[in-house]
Structure 1
Amino acid sequence: MSRDSRDAPGPWDAAGPADAAGSWDEDGPPHPLALRRTGRSEQEPDRLPEVRELEVLGWEPAPEELAWVFLPYVWPPADRTWIPDRSTHWAVDTRLDGHGHVTGVEATPLAEAELHDLDRETEELLDALGLPHRPPGRLWLLRPIGPYPAVGAFLDHLRSVARERGIEFRASPELLSLTRAELATLTGSGPP
């Protein structure tokens, strides 16, 4: 995919000086497309209009699997960005009759406390990896790198290499190290 001036790396992509260790872009602003929208949306994260617009430009939401909790942190700064998370996370209560038929469905937004509980597992995994916690309220998007046409293709490659090396597929120092090494090879930045 070719990149044009609307999609060229800019201050919203950079984490400052090259940081082989990683960064959450703590002081970096969100992608400019996110600045056109404000306020809470009742849509789920992947349904937000700004996410859809960025997908057209080649960005992909960072994977939600806990094994990749660190991925935006180590992804090359020019190929990662974030937008404010103005989505709503829903709790869905489904009622069934005695035959297993749905008799009612009620969806209610999760409260802040419940959202924090969801983040706790992520924070615990990052602590175990020796990484700082993610800044709150962000949705991360990544662009494919190297010869991989999609972020998922690169992750499939990592899973394959991990399997060959006997690395268990879970958020671990070994998977983090492998990911950093493979990214460094692809970006030509040398060993992490």
Structure 2
Amino acid sequence: MVGDWGGEDGLLRDPWPAEPLPPERLPSVAAARAQGWHLAPDAPLWCFLPAVWPARQRAWVPDRSVRVVRTVCDGVPGPEIPWSAWDHAEVEGVVASLLADAGVPARPPGRLWLLRPPPGTRDLDDAVDRLAAGAESAGVPVRCCAELVAWSAATVDGWFRPGA
């Protein structure tokens, strides 16, 4: 297996209670962002990224967010409805399957992962864009698979290596 999730290592102190907010609006995430951390991408393609990011460059806070489904009826936006336990389980099941198929250990539940962007990138989105473009140009499939995980692990390691 490639990657690890680091046990309890990397927990950023989170004194805030649960709030009905999306991850990016949580006070703990805002405080982490002020210290240079960025939320890891939530796209299934990149679900493995925290596991291959250098341990000193990743952290997490407890996931106290509330995700919602935006409803629409006859083209008219309706109320936002919080995800049910079934919705959470379905998403986690998809992610667990992708990680297992890619040879990555299952991720610990209940965490929002935070990553520091590598030197020379504008932000984490820029780093992810560079990973995707580099993998594509190297002939690595840009889908959650063992090849992309291994290629990304080596690339990210190189980004953070002293003198890189």
TM-score between the two structures when normalised by the length of structure 1: 0.77
Q: Which has the higher contact order (CA 8 A, sep 6+)?
A: 2
Counterpart of 1:72 in 2: which secondary structure?
helix
How much has 1:110 moved relative to structure 2?
A: 1.6
Aligned partner (choices 145, 157, 160) of residue 184 of structure 1: 157
8 Å CA contact 2:10, 2:55 repeated in 1: no
Paired residue total: 161
Q: Which amino acid aligns with 1:31?
A: L
Aligned partner (choices 71, 75, 79) of residue 93 of structure 1: 71
Moved more, 74-83 or 162-171: 162-171
Q: Do the aligned partners of residues 105 and 147 (structure 1) sit closer, same or farther apart at CA in structure 2, a change above 3 Å counting? A: same
Q: In the aligned structure 2, how far is the partner of 1:155 from the partner of 1:26?
A: 24
Q: Does 1:130 align with 2:103?
A: yes
Counterpart of 2:119 in 1: which secondary structure?
coil
Name the structure 2 match of 1:53. 31
% identity of equivalent residues = 31
Q: Do the aligned partners of residues 70 and 93 (structure 1) sit closer, same or farther apart at CA in structure 2, a change above 3 Å counting? A: same
Name the structure 2 match of 1:119. 92
- For 1:156-167, what aligned pairs fall within 5 Å after superposition? 156-167=129-140
Q: In the aligned structure 2, how far is the partner of 1:137 from the partner of 1:152?
A: 23
Cα shift readout 1:122-155 (whole Å, capped 9, x = no counterpart): 0000010111111111000100123223122222
Query: Unaligned 5+ residue runs, structure 1?
Result: 1-20
Q: In the aligned structure 2, how far is the partner of 1:22 from the partner of 1:139?
A: 17
8 Å CA contact 2:69, 2:80 repeated in 1: yes
Query: Unaligned 5+ residue runs, structure 2?
Result: none
Name the structure 2 match of 1:16. none
Q: Does 1:70 align with 2:43?
A: no
How much has 1:29 moved relative to structure 2?
A: 5.9
Moved more, 68-77 or 139-148: 139-148
8 Å CA contact 2:3, 2:105 repeated in 1: no
Name the structure 2 match of 1:37. 16
Counterpart of 1:144 in 2: which secondary structure?
coil
Q: Do the aligned partners of residues 92 and 187 (structure 1) sit closer, same or farther apart at CA in structure 2, a change above 3 Å counting? A: closer
Q: Which amino acid aligns with 2:129?
A: D
